Chains A and B, each alone.
Chain A
Amino acid sequence: MKKVVANASEAVKDIQDGMTLMLGGFGLCGIPENCITALVSLGVKNLTCISNNAGVDDFGIGLMLKGRQVKKMISSYVGENAEFERQLLSGELEVELLPQGTLAERCRAAGAGIPAFFTPAGYGTEVAEGKETREFDGKQYIMEKAFNSDYAIVKAWKGDTDGNLIFKATARNFNPMMAMAGKITIAEVEELVPAGELDPNFIHTPGIFINKIFQGVDYEKRIEQRTIR
């Protein structure tokens, strides 16, 4: 199967209203910039987005929020974003907050064929409400289920035409688990090379998980907290 597509617009063109999308990244680091721009142009609405954060007002998922494309966010930390706050308080936007490790593991489980797992995170808190709890060796855990998502959209540093991916530094974050978890996974990469050029020893995500891949353009890689010594 040919996985390479020309650009972001072609990669996202079959995404429809009401779908659930996973979007990689931590803050603005390692987010699929090209696909987010293409989703804004596509104008799909009522999306459920699973992503650790919700971008900032004028970048990342914030751009999709501005266009009222998102019905629900599933995240661990939000609120670097005034438009997000406005929509949340007015009831236009639904938000489910989860512990970060639980968010990661629910992605991982989805990609690993595991329907649910038990974690201690959130036991005794609001997060546990409505969830099954169980004791193992004297400690309490809550059951969390694998996510179900139509598309996963990830960003890698390098990729090849077979879909193999290599991530860079902390831009890896949620991308590898999400890449495994989508019914369809789109990968945008900074550099796309012919199969055979990447050393198999250093592949982070094997190509079997990737359905569409393209080389992105004009990466802005915005920095949220520019700290120097």
Chain B
Amino acid sequence: MLTKQQIAQRIARELKDGYYVNLGIGIPTLVANYVPEGINVTLQSENGLLGMGPFPTEEEIDADLINAGKQTVTTLPGSSFFDSATSFAMIRSGRVDLTVLGAMEVNDNGDIANWKIPGKMVKGMGGAMDLVASAKNIIVAMQHTNRDGESKLLQKLTLPVTGLGCVKKVVTDLCVMEVTERGFELKELAPGVTIEQVKTATEGRLIIEGEIPEILF
């Protein structure tokens, strides 16, 4: 099984030199810690920063410089600031190469639910609906099952949808899967995880073809 850090580390291998990337809150944020050597990516923070740098030192803290998770951050050489309309112009016009998001549920058509649990306090979708409606490449980082052990990879979403047919790849604690027209195609297994485990934990249509390699770290 993969730890949260290993899920992030595996997703980081999807990065290509020159990519503009938007990372969601939670596991996706950790992807920034594993950018492969020799590859330069530019992080977009939808509150109005392109070229997001690491957290500041105590001396560098600036209340006017935060990321979309409201954490204090820094700039890097080449960074730029802009307003929220410009930020979502970048997103909707498809200029962000990769979006990494967390999810509560994904179905085998690539629909995603990650903003609302009916009956519980609703916090809102923030920028997630804009991102999933337009991003060319969306990877979901999440646990394969919920706290009750139920599959989060479904045939039909049970929660309110955030966006339709948008998820391209899912990396969970158990495996890497691609969303295809035929359903979730198993591509890689986490160390120590069997195909049977993935089958049991996946409620949606699952495709297993050929030899499935193990994710190496």
Contact = CB atoms under 8 A, between A and B. Distances in A.
Interface of A: 26-30, 52, 75-79, 85, 88-89, 95, 97-105, 107-108, 119-127, 157, 167-177, 204, 221-229
Contact of A172 (B62, B70, B83, B124): B83
A29 B65 CA distance: 8
A79 B124 contact: yes
Given A104-B88, A105-B88, A122-B133, 19 more contacts: A26-B70, A26-B84, A27-B47, A30-B64, A77-B123, A99-B125, A100-B46, A100-B125, A101-B88, A101-B129, A104-B83, A168-B64, A169-B62, A169-B75, A177-B85, A223-B61, A223-B66, A227-B71, A229-B55
Contacts of B58: 228
Interface in B50-74: 54-58, 61-73
7 contacts: A99-B127, A100-B84, A104-B83, A169-B81, A170-B64, A170-B81, A223-B66
Contacts of A175: 83
A159 B131 CA distance: 33
Interface residues of B, number: 51
Interface in B19-75: 45-49, 54-58, 61-73, 75
B160 A126 contact: yes
Given A100-B88, A124-B164, A170-B47, A77 B61 contact: no
Which of B91, B92, B126, B164 gathers most chain A CB within 10 Å? B126
Which of B46, B125, B161 gathers most chain A CB within 10 Å? B125
Given A101-B88, A101-B92, A170 B134 contact: no
B183 interface: no
Which of B124, B125, B162, B163 gathers most chain A CB within 10 Å? B124
Contacts of B97: none
**B contact patch SS:** loop
A197 to B, nearest CB: 21
Given A52-B84, A99-B129, A125-B162, A170 B56 contact: no
B164 to A, nearest CB: 4
Nearest to A176: B83
A228 B55 contact: yes
Contacts of A221: 63-64
A87 to B, nearest CB: 12
B133 A123 contact: yes
B203 interface: no
Contacts of B87: 101, 104
B216 interface: no
Contacts of B127: 76, 99-101
B57 A228 contact: yes
Contact of B61 (A120, A123, A226): A226
A54 to B, nearest CB: 9
